């Protein structure tokens, strides 16, 4: 049996970054994502978000890929919201950010994720997104 611990900070937003995740819906969606992750054998350590995006800290297993885990979490949760909400069609943005987290930084990332409401009182998701793109050297099209 392989021993693997690969921590990933995964971030994704609602379609067009629409601010549709009010407190009540967000609580239900985040809870559902946790339950679904457990059923799919995805080790989801920490999750939180605000009206237009979600942050997750997870640990990949040896047979999991970032793209497959992101697809499972995002796809199933949007399907669930659409089946349980009367507020119109719900979608996540296709894109996401995923960055590796060193073992020494896990607690710091947990705290960052847990403090999303406070963090976004001072900074919009667009500003945060741009900082992540620049900090990690991602190349954007266009």
Cα end-to-end distance, the chain, whole Å:
44
Q: What are 80-110's pLDDT values in tens digits?
A: 999 987 777 899 999 999 999 999 999 999 9
Q: Which two tokens stand for residue 2?
A: 């392989």
| pLDDT of res. 117 | 87
Class of domain 6-135: alpha beta
Q: What are 22-65's pLDDT values in tens digits?
A: 999 999 999 999 999 999 999 999 999 999 999 999 999 999 99
**How far, in Å, CA of 90 to CA of 101, rounded?**
30
| pLDDT of res. 2 | 82
Where are the chain's structural domains?
6-135
Report the predicted TM-score, pTM, of the whole model to 2 decimal places: 0.89
**How far, in Å, CA of 88 to CA of 93, rounded?**
16
| pLDDT of res. 140 | 66
């Amino acid at each position: 049996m392989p021993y693997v611990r690969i921590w990933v900070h995964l971030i994704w937003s609602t379609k067009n970054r629409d601010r549709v995740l009010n407190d009540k819906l967000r609580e239900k969606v985040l809870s559902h994502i946790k339950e679904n992750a457990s059923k799919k054998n995805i080790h989801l350590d920490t999750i939180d978000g605000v009206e237009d995006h979600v942050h997750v800290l997870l640990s990949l297993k040896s047979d999991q890929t970032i793209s497959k885990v992101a697809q499972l979490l995002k796809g199933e949760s949007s399907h669930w919201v659409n089946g349980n909400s009367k507020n119109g069609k719900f979608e996540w943005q296709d894109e996401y950010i995923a960055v590796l987290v060193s073992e020494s930084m896990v607690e710091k990332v947990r705290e960052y994720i847990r403090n999303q409401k406070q963090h976004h009182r001072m900074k919009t998701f667009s500003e945060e997104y741009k900082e992540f793109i620049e900090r990690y050297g991602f190349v954007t099209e266009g």
